[in-house]
Amino acid sequence: MSVITRLLYGSVTAIVCILLAARSSKGQTTPALYAQPSRPVPNQSSLEHEVRADMAFLADNELHGRGSATRDEHIAALFAASQFQSLGLEPGGDSNTFLQKVPLPHPLPDRIQNRLANFEATPRTETWNAIAILPGSDPRLKDEVILLTAHLDHLGVAATTINGTPAENRDIIYNGADDDASGTTAILAFAHLLATGPRSRRTIVFALFGSEELGGFGARAFLQHSPVPLSSIVANLEFEMIGRHDPAVPDGTLWLTGFQRSNLGPELANHGAHLVEDPHPKEMFFQRSDNINLARQGIVAHTVSSYGLHKDYHQPSDEISTIDFPHMTSAIASMIKPIRWLTNTTWKPQWNAGGKP
């Protein structure tokens, strides 16, 4: 590692400490009991400050695009794990920690090698998940789990030389602000709000997966080494690309992949979620996020998004300057009450006829 790289990683560590200290200064407490009165949706301005802070870290150039199975993805996982720990959540990773280490196949399959050909060559031998648990308060429901997820990684750094030609005077960092720093930030916000509010009756697992961009390795490893029985997972909501408004749906609206496949989306909408059917069915987004790995195991699993097919998808231009923070903050806030309902009800979602993958 060069001196410059050491300095960059040193500054990343400093930023982590500053952000966690700032969050701790807000007076975090251990999770409250369910018997306490219902907690309202947080002040929009306060939530936006938190969203901006987490996004500023995750999408910063110094994380080099959080490339799948790189040191930078690991740093993002450590950042999330530190926040989970500061909230008093229980660890869901390896050896009583908040991290799950996932070895990758060696050698990597040809399809993945080809995908990485135009990106910076680094050893890619392992990926990382960050996992935390908020145990339920109701003895009758605590063995039922609501799983809230997003993916940590993005594409990383483009090769400085492509096909033998130096790639000069261009942005080579794929920051992945919308994809999926936005979803990761949403999960951190939900963890904060749910852990410091009244304790839910059902157990909640917060999981941030690594190497989604390489083919869902983190999510698949979670299924193989889940901290809770897979049969106990009532529903999974994945959050991906919520940083910008989709012009195909009304302002303030999110959409749910595979909306028509189960009764989860309509029921969340009945309880205040601004959720509609995915307006881009030809893109087959239901199959293109980590939720599909859980859905194939029979878990009712969908992705919440507002991706409007923008030109910055999988481009270096997916930077924090393109994020619509009022939209993103409103999107997170709009899901808090429906998620609280889902974590406290006895109702269970079901696949519709022919909807289960």
Alpha-carbon distance of 164 to 152, in angstroms, equals: 31
> Which of these CATH numbers, 3.40.630.10, 3.40.228.10, 3.30.70.1560, 3.40.50.150, describes 3-27+40-344?
3.40.630.10
pLDDT, position 33: 37
Question: Do residues 198 and 339 lie in contact, with contact meaning Cβ atoms separated by under 8 Å?
Answer: no
Q: Locate 288 and state its tokens.
A: 């293109």
Kindly report, residue by residue over 20-42, the tens digit of the pLDDT: 444 444 444 333 333 333 445 56
Which strand (E) or helix (H) includes residue 17? helix 3-24
pTM for the full predicted model: 0.88
Average pLDDT of every residue of the chain: 89
pLDDT, position 166: 63
pLDDT, position 37: 38
Alpha-carbon distance of 137 to 145, in angstroms, equals: 12
Question: Do residues 132 and 206 lie in contact, with contact meaning Cβ atoms separated by under 8 Å?
Answer: yes
Alpha-carbon distance of 161 to 312, in angstroms, equals: 22
Instruction: Report which of 227, 84, 80 is spatially closest to residue 147, judged by C-alpha positions.
Output: 227
Question: Do residues 122 and 155 lie in contact, with contact meaning Cβ atoms separated by under 8 Å?
Answer: no
Q: Locate 158 and state its tokens.
A: 């483009």
Q: Locate 134 and state its tokens.
A: 């908020």
Give me the residues of the chain with pLDDT under 50, please: 1-15, 17-39
Question: Do residues 200 and 35 lie in contact, with contact meaning Cβ atoms separated by under 8 Å?
Answer: no
Alpha-carbon distance of 190 to 176, in angstroms, equals: 20
pLDDT, position 76: 98
In 152-256, beta strands by DSSP E: 156-157, 161-162, 165-166, 173-174, 203-209, 233-239, 254-256
Spell out the domain ranges in the chain.
3-27+40-344
Instruction: Determine how β-strand 156-157 pairs with β-strand 173-174.
Output: antiparallel
